[in-house]
Amino acid sequence: MSSLLDFDLLELLKENGVVFNQKNEKEANNSIVHNNIPDNLIIQYEARIKEQQEIISLLKDKINYLET
């Protein structure tokens, strides 16, 4: 998976990621997760999301064309 993402997955487990857990009086669990995800991984996700949105748009256009 690391080679597919061009990213070392162990980077996510380093000490710069912090998790805080709290329980309130009603035993509900409120969690705050703070993890410093590297910028290159975020950029890859954003590019992939944009690509998927373009594919969806093209497929919707194709459906509309075939329906008419």
pLDDT value, residue 48: 94
Look at phi and psi of residue 6 and say left if phi exceeds 0, alpha if psi is from -120 to 50, else beta.
Answer: left
> Is the per-residue pLDDT at 65 higher than 90?
yes
Copy the structure tokens of residue 51: 């690509």
Q: Total structural domains in the chain? A: 1
Copy the structure tokens of residue 13: 């487990």
pLDDT digits (tens, 9 = 90+) for 29-53: 556 555 667 788 888 999 999 999 9
Q: What sign does the CA torsion over 21, 24, 26, 31 have?
A: negative
> Is the per-residue pLDDT at 13 higher than 60?
yes
Look up the domain containing 31 and give its range: 2-67
pLDDT value, residue 49: 96
> Is the per-residue pLDDT at 5 higher than 90?
no
